[in-house]
Structure 1
Amino acid sequence: MSAGGGGTGGRGGLVGIVLVSHSGPVAAAVAELARRLAGGGEVAPVAAAGGMPDGGFGTSAELICEAAHKVDGGAGVALLVDLGSAVLTVKALLAEGDELPSGARLVDAPFVEGAVAAVVTASTGADLDAVAAAAGEAYGYRKE
């Protein structure tokens, strides 16, 4: 995992991480895993945006926006997603331009490994580019 960037994230604070899943429990569990693996000091803000407001399965623009604003400290927000409609929902929100905080970015990364890499890297004070790069590098993690 690359720390890159240095400093305290381009615009102050730490980069925030939003984990978007079709399942609330999945998003919450991955957020907790990433927080625990990044422990040992200040941990970047992480929020789960899983499922629908009523607890059902799906992707909620409302929950995504709420989570993004919750973790936004001014250094950018990395959004990691699990599957198809989550990607489409985040892309639509980014295209609208006013729903998500300035500096929000969809990160192309595997959901679990990318989330851990993003949180660990953001917790070092790395900027959004470095966080996105570290999360994306998780595609190369070999398990054999």
Structure 2
Amino acid sequence: MSSAHPDFHHVPKDFVHDSEILEILRANPPEALKTLNGELLDIDSTRGYARFRFEVVPAFCHSQGRVCQGGFLTGMVDTAMANAAIVKGKLGVAVPTLELKISFFEAMGPGIVYAEGRVMRWGGTVGFLDGELKDEKGRLIVHSTSTIKIVRPKVKA
């Protein structure tokens, strides 16, 4: 069976361990992840979980380089949530966003943030995700929820 996700059509789908999925994801980071200075740290396909580390650099910031623009933070938490869903689907599904809600709790300047994404509900065609960004001190910077469409591979008759 081929993946419905365009980045993983070439990847075999007989994964046994999350370590195999993690290795594939780390070996093929999308350009957006590189742009956001992100690194995938951990996954759990059973729970639908992904954890990332991002570096907020002054180029992402306004207010004389002191406050990260919200779109960058949104991209970071969205990356974690999407990857939680992608690993839940064992790289076999595409997960386009239908709806995204973002709440900003604290300003974040240059530094390190950690993003976690979780699958809250996994249905036949729709999934519900939850995510957060925290700084190195553990302060909650961003909380987000997302509704996704779960696009599975078409079965050839």
Asked if Structure 1 and Structure 2 have the same fold, meaning a TM-score greater than 0.5 normalized by the shorter chain, the answer is no
| TM-score normalised per structure 1 | 0.28
Q: Which structure shows the higher strand fraction?
A: 2
Q: TM-score, normalised by structure 2?
A: 0.27
Larger-gyration structure (1/2):
2
Answer 1 or 2: higher relative contact order, Cα 8 Å, separation at least 6: 1
Structure with bigger helix share is 1
